[in-house]
Structures are given as C-alpha cells and as structure tokens.
Amino acid sequence: MNAPAIEAIDLVKQFDGVTAVDGVSFSVPAGTVLGLLGPNGAGKTTTVRMMTTLSTPTSGTARVAGYDVLEDPDMVRRNMGLTGQAATVDELLTGRENIRMIGGLYGIGKKDLARLGDQLLEQFSIAEASDRPAKTYSGGMRRRLDLAVSLIASPPVLFLDEPTTGLDPRSRSDLWEVLRGLVAGGTTLLLTTQYLEEADQLADDIVVIDRGRIIAKGTPLQLKQQAGNASLVVTVSHAVDLPAARDLLARTGSEVHVDVGARQLTASADGIADLTTVANWLQESRIEVDDIGLSRPSLDDVFLSLTGHRADDEEVPA
Ligand SMILES: Nc1ncnc2c1ncn2[C@@H]1O[C@H](COP(=O)(O)OP(=O)(O)O)[C@@H](O)[C@H]1O
Ligand SMILES: [Mg+2]
C-alpha cells in the first residue's frame, strides 16, 4: 500500500449554524484516484476548499503530500494543483498567455516556461488555439486550459472539482483520457463529481457523501455489490428452449424470471462462477444462446439504495 497522498481527518465545516461538512475522513494512496461523489449541495466543494487551504475547517484537518493544511499551508499549496468548479482562466488573455502568467507567478524561468507551455498546450489539444483569446474557446477547451494551467508546477496531487460538469459527452471523454494519462504518470487525483458514471470510469475508490456525511466508501465494484446481487441474463436463440433453460437456471437455487417476448431469462447470481456453470449446462443440453452475461447494478442503483433518493433528485426529503 502506498503512503497516503491525501488525508481528510474528521473535517467539519459550519456556516452560521449550518453544518455543510459533518465529520468527513478518508485517505487516498499516492498514485490513485479518489472520486468524491454526491449530489448538489452534498458538501463536495466545501470539503475540497478545506483540503486546499482555501477555507479553514471548523474542526478536523487534512494532509496533502504529508503536509497539514493548518500547520503547513504553504507546503500544501506547493504540492497541489486545483481546478475549481468555475473555470478560472483569464478570458482576455490567449491560452499561451494564461500559462505564461501563472507560470511566472510560480517563478518558472522564461525558457523553461516556453517549453513547458508548448508541451501542455499540445498535451491538452489546445495548441492550435493557443494564440486566440480564451473567450473564443469552447467549454471543453476552457476546462482543458484550466487543467493545463493547474499543472504548470507539476504538482504531485491534483484536486478537480466537478471537472466535466457542463461538458458535452465528447469533451467529457476527452478529458477522462487526459486524466488517465496524468494518473499513469504518477499524479494522485481527487475529483468530485455528481456523475456516477464518471466515478465508475476514473476512480480507484469512491467516497459517497450526502448532506455533509459519508454514506458509503469502497471500490466501484464493492459499491455496486452493496446495492444487490448481480443478475445472470440469458437470451436463448429459440423460444422453444425457454422452459428447459428455465429449469437449468433454477438449478442455481435462485428464482428465474422469464421474458418470453425477449427470449430472455434472468436469475440472481453470485458472480462469474455461476455464469460459467450455467454456460456449461446450456452447452451440455445443446441449448443455443444469443447472449449470456452478468449484469451488475449501476452506481445509480447504488445511490438509490444508500440514500433512498436518486442523485439527481431536486427535492431531497428531510
Ligand atoms: N459560503 C457559504 N456560506 C453558507 N453556506 C454555504 C457556503 N458554501 C456552501 N454552503 C452550503 O453548504 C452546503 C454544501 O455546499 P457545497 O460544498 O458547495 O456542495 P457541493 O459542492 O457538493 O454541491 C450547501 O448547503 C451550501 O448551501
Ligand atoms: Mg460543488
């Protein structure tokens, strides 16, 4: 196990009597990705602000790259990058000028900065637009520039607050690719998201928060398993085989649901072992199948089972 690159230790934040973050603790091993998942108002931004020295915890603390946010805020800032929910690029400056300006603030020399700037602009696919003012950029390009800017000082730890909110699906998957590249290079990532799919795609571990509290932790797979069993779904090629196939599936001991129109049978399954067993039985009985597979609950199902409401519900019952 790698040493933790990020730790939240019983973080609490109150705003005039309202508790936005209510005792949040987790740790992120170096070189991994943590997805902080929760609906609007869950406390994600407030947590990130405390962990990046932008806001002082009411109680508790956090460590980034081994430095305490309360005791060593300068060292924390030197070891991290942050991309906020709203892009922070200067709209009037070009992409290249944005990078130059922030690089200058970090005290990076002109020559190094020029080389680094070219490299980042290329890496984030904004090279062609690098000499246009950022206000002419699309939403996806702005996010990428924002990310490029936050990487100028090559921080080992990167915080991304809803990096893909508002992006179209194409820009979103482009950005995921960029983030995977960073992680492959050793960066530790904490990203907040409202998108269950995003956490599923990128995160090694997920912390689910709702109303300031952690309601679940685990790998994407563990969380999905928590939401219930996987199901085994078999589509037979010929409807006449449905009764025989049903009897076979029933031998696993689970109840079988038959959808005649779709020639499909569904039974709950423990995992791959059940899948293999049933596939063998079907073959031995010479029952032709169009498809056989394991279907796991989505993270949406997980959220529903944990909180009793969907992640995108407007009205959150008290
Ligand atoms: N500066 C602030 N003053 C008062 N309340 C705040 C402030 N910032 C956030 N909150 C409240 O704290 C809660 C969590 O907000 P936030 O951390 O922004 O959630 P998220 O990022 O998950 O959407 C919300 O109820 C929000 O209204
Ligand atoms: Mg937020």
Nearest CA owner, ligand 1 atom 27: 41
Q: Where among 201, 225, 249 does a domain terminate? A: 225
User: Both 220 and 252 in a single domain?
Assistant: no
Nearest CA owner, ligand 1 atom 26: 41
Helix (H, G, I), strand (E, B) or coil at 175: helix
pLDDT of residue 301: 73
CA of 192 to the centre of ligand 2 (A): 8
Residue 170 has pLDDT above 50, yes or no: yes
Nearest CA owner, ligand 1 atom 2: 15
pLDDT of residue 312: 61
User: Both 251 and 278 in a single domain?
Assistant: yes
What is the β-pairing status of strands 264-269 and 213-218? unpaired
Percent over 70 (pLDDT), the chain: 94
> Per the domain annotation, does 311 fall within a domain?
no
Residues with CB under 6 A from ligand 1: 15, 18, 20, 38, 40-46
User: Both 286 and 169 in a single domain?
Assistant: no
User: Both 9 and 141 in a single domain?
Assistant: yes
Counting beta carbons within 10 angstroms of the beta carbon of residue 18, is it exposed (0 to 12), middle (13 to 18) or buried (19 or more)?
exposed
CB crowding 166-205: b at 16 or more within 10 Å, else e: ebeeebbebbbebbeebbeeebbbbbbbbbbebbbbbbeb
Nearest CA owner, ligand 1 atom 4: 15
CA of 245 to the centre of ligand 2 (A): 49
pLDDT confidence band for 196 (50 / 70 / 90): confident
Residues 6+ apart with CB under 8 A from 292: 232, 233, 234, 235, 275, 278, 279, 282
Q: Where among 225, 250, 284 does a domain terminate? A: 225
Strand locations in the chain (E): 4-15, 18-29, 33-37, 59-64, 67-68, 80-83, 157-161, 188-193, 205-210, 213-218, 230-236, 256-259, 264-269, 289-295
Q: Which atom of ligand 1 is nearest to the CA of 46?
A: 17
pLDDT of residue 311: 61
Q: Write down the H helix ranges in 87-168.
A: 95-105, 110-123, 139-150
Determine contact, residues 213/23, Cβ cutoff 8 Å: yes
User: Both 145 and 265 in a single domain?
Assistant: no
Domain count, the chain: 2
Q: Where among 197, 225, 253 does a domain terminate? A: 225
User: Both 52 and 149 in a single domain?
Assistant: yes
User: Both 165 and 241 in a single domain?
Assistant: no
User: Both 64 and 186 in a single domain?
Assistant: yes
User: Both 149 and 25 in a single domain?
Assistant: yes
User: Both 204 and 135 in a single domain?
Assistant: yes
CA of 120 to the centre of ligand 1 (A): 33
Helix (H, G, I), strand (E, B) or coil at 255: coil
> Per the domain annotation, does 317 fall within a domain?
no
What average pLDDT does the segment 116-127 reach?
Answer: 88
Residue 111 has pLDDT above 50, yes or no: yes
Nearest CA owner, ligand 1 atom 25: 41
Q: Which atom of ligand 1 is nearest to the CA of 13?
A: 12
> Per the domain annotation, does 315 fall within a domain?
no
Place of tokens 């449905």: 242
* Angle between helix 139-150 and helix 169-184 axes, rounded to 10 deg: 20
> Per the domain annotation, does 304 fall within a domain?
no
Place of tokens 């999905």: 224
CA of 210 to the centre of ligand 2 (A): 12
What is the β-pairing status of strands 205-210 and 33-37? parallel
> Per the domain annotation, does 305 fall within a domain?
no
Q: Which atom of ligand 1 is nearest to the CA of 161?
A: 21
User: Both 120 and 144 in a single domain?
Assistant: yes
Q: Pick from 15, 47, 313 the residue to mutate for probing ligand 1's pocket: most ligand atoms within 8 Å of its CB.
A: 15
Nearest CA owner, ligand 1 atom 17: 43
CATH number at 240 reads 3.30.70.100
CA of 51 to the centre of ligand 2 (A): 14
Nearest CA owner, ligand 1 atom 10: 20
CATH number at 77 reads 3.40.50.300
* Angle between helix 110-123 and helix 139-150 axes, rounded to 10 deg: 140
> Per the domain annotation, does 303 fall within a domain?
no
> Per the domain annotation, does 318 fall within a domain?
no
The mean-pLDDT minimum among 15-19, 141-145, 314-318 falls in 314-318
Instruction: Write out the residue range of the structural domain in which residue 102 sits.
Output: 4-225
> Per the domain annotation, does 259 fall within a domain?
yes
User: Both 233 and 127 in a single domain?
Assistant: no
pLDDT confidence band for 313 (50 / 70 / 90): low
CA of 194 to the centre of ligand 2 (A): 9
